Amino acid sequence: MRNRPNVLSIVLAGGEGKRLMPLTADRAKPAVPFGGTYRLIDFVLSNLANSGLTKMAVLTQYKSHSLDRHIAQTWRMSTLLGSFVASVPAQQRTGKQWYMGSADAIYQSLNLITDEEPDYIVVFGADNIYRMDVNAMLEAHIDSGLECTVAGIRVPRSEASAFGIIDAADDAKILQFLEKPADPPGLPDSPDESFASMGNYIFTRKAFVEMLKADAEDPDSKHDMGGNVVPFFVNKGQAQVYDFTKNDVPGSTDKDRNYWRDVGTIDAYHAAHMDLVSVDPEFNLYNRHWPIFTQQYQAPGAKFTLRGTAEDSIVSAGCIISGGDVDRSVLSPNVVVDKWAKVEESVIFSGARVGRNAVVRRAILDKGVHVEDGAEVGVNRDADLARGFHVSDSGITVVSKNGSVNA
Ligand code: ADQ
């Protein structure tokens, strides 16, 4: 086994997540709750921690309060062993401006790299659901001797214009990289699929720092990882792809070995939850060999009274199902579902309350929402729109934080 290199991981967590509105009206996208007790950022941080990469800087900017709080309360690592998860807000170290793009976020935080002097820098996005052995990607990076490695996955071509698209040679060298092309090319062996960047990169330190400094001086650059940094290394012949089909983590199943989801839209976010509550989900949250870590709430166990039921559902601690019926839904801590209420195919954040005889169907209720006795949400699209709720393309109704649903 080779000596363990010094690795600094930088997690980009400053994105606004506009397409997840209104869930991101009041919080950064990586802080959006997921799966009852998690937040999106827990997946990347768990992957890094499980891979033994325990020096992590999380770069935050947009509405970062709940994200900072979550990191501070949850991700306390042992400083004795040199581990840390540091939440680093924009600090205007290089001038008066906020981060101009994801590469500028790292440039403005170069002191982290100078202080830590890592051999390699892992730069990962913060808003995807997946399990990944980052060490295997690091090994591939070191073995290649190249300056940049990009994680890649096949996605349906119909969705590929949202991603950076990779054209790679048989030896994995990237020949061409197109950031979010309007008409993404298909793969030779599968024309309906494209090879997409997962927004996860590994760089060799010296080359990366030199590139960031040059990029900061370039008036034509958008200072974007996918738009500028990756194409720079590709043009230099110094970039390769790490194919995610090689991914394997302890305890993974054939189904979830290559599971990776961008839950960046309300529909994708809701669909990923419906997968979690299915009898045989694609993504297995219960893999104890590669745990996804999160904050454990101080709350008593979920309680079911007055013949309250939950089927095919995740019900978190502190919930009280008092005579209502919950079906194919995910409930965060401290949700109350009252007598004769029905909750179906819904995602309910902590502290929400569903009153007697109320109906919640294919809806997402943000924190603290109150559905009054007898009220309905997700049942009639026009009525939901008229009440000012957001309704997604596939008809998922979202009620904003602390909102009320009146009868
Ligand atoms: P996007 O996700 O659209 O595409 P971006 O909006 O830059 O790119 O977000 C990438 C990550 O950076 C996210 O975790 C986000 O929170 C964070 N981020 C964005 N702006 C930031 C800023 N100013 N400061 C700090 N963090 C910031 C990217 C790649 C594509 C790739 C997809 C995969 O550009 O090539 O295919 O990810 O999802």
Q: Which domain holds residue 372?
A: 303-405
Same domain, 251 and 331: no
Question: What's the one-letter identity of residue 204?
Answer: T
Backbone dihedral region for residue 268 (phi beyond 0: left; psi -120 to 50: alpha; all else: beta): alpha
Report if residue 398 sits inside a domain: yes
Position 2 scores a pLDDT of 62
Q: Would the pLDDT of 357 be above 70?
A: yes
Q: Is 123:8 a contact under the CB 8 Å cutoff? A: no
What average pLDDT does the segment 376-398 reach?
A: 97
Q: Is 164 annotated as a binding residue?
A: yes
Pure H helices in 51-196: 65-74, 102-107, 110-116, 134-144
Same domain, 212 and 260: yes
Q: Which residue has the tokens 């202080």?
A: 115
Same domain, 259 and 137: yes
Domain end, chosen from 267, 286, 317, is at: 267
Domain end, chosen from 267, 291, 320, is at: 267
How does the average pLDDT of the chain come out, rounded?
94
Q: Is 78 annotated as a binding residue?
A: no
- The reply to whether ipTM tops 0.90 is yes
Q: Give the tokens for residue 193.
A: 């699929």
Same domain, 119 and 223: yes
Domain end, chosen from 240, 267, 294, is at: 267
State the total domains in the chain: 2
Same domain, 243 and 363: no
| pLDDT tier, 9 (very low <50, low <70, confident <90, very high otherwise) | very high
Same domain, 233 and 373: no
Phi, psi at 82, each rounded to 5°: 80, 15
Backbone dihedral region for residue 334 (phi beyond 0: left; psi -120 to 50: alpha; all else: beta): left
Ligand 1 centroid to Cα of residue 401, in Å, is 25
Q: How far apart are CA 186 and CA 195, in angstroms?
A: 8
Same domain, 254 and 127: yes
List, for residues 78-134, the tens digit of each pLDDT value: 777 789 998 888 766 666 677 778 999 999 999 999 999 999 999 999 999 999 999
26-40 in b/e form (b: 16+ CB < 10 A) is ebbbbbbbbbbbbbb
Q: Would the pLDDT of 214 be above 90?
A: yes
Same domain, 131 and 257: yes
Position 365 scores a pLDDT of 98
Q: Is 197 annotated as a binding residue?
A: yes
Q: Which strand (E) or helix (H) includes residue 276?
A: helix 266-277
Q: How far apart are CA 182 and CA 175, in angstroms?
A: 19
Same domain, 129 and 219: yes
Q: What is the CATH number of the domain that holds 373?
A: 2.160.10.10
Same domain, 256 and 346: no
Angle 96-102-108 (CA atoms, 0-180°, nearest 5)? 40
Q: Would the pLDDT of 256 be above 70?
A: yes
Same domain, 246 and 366: no
Substitution site in 102, 215, 241 for ligand 1 pocket (most atoms within 8 Å of beta carbon)? 102
What ligand 1 atom has the least distance to the C-alpha of 98? Answer: 23
